[in-house]
Amino acid sequence: MTPEEIAKIADPELRGATAALQRAAQMAREIAIQTNTAIIVRGEDGQIRRITADELRREKAAAEAAEAAARTARAAR
């Protein structure tokens, strides 16, 4: 859901559900990395896929590098 769609939801508990699910997904990824196990996810295209701990580590490193680059770019302004 987009932030705009979430803002339109009347029930405050339901509005918070998306954030809670995102936190749970992130925690599952962290645990998979720590235990060197894969996770199974359903992609936006509906396909079920297995993501290994190595893939999760690469995704995490790429996200952290992108975040660091964005911080550097903001600081340079």
pLDDT at 3: 74
Taking only Cα atoms into account, the Rg of the chain, rounded to an integer number of angstroms, comes to 16
Mutual orientation of helices 12-35 and 53-76 as an angle, nearest 10°?
120
CA distance 35 to 29: 10
Q: What's residue 62's pLDDT? A: 97
Which pLDDT value is given to residue 34? 98
pTM comes to: 0.75
pLDDT along the chain (77 residues), means of 10: 77 82 96 98 94 98 95 90
Residue 1's pLDDT is what?
A: 66
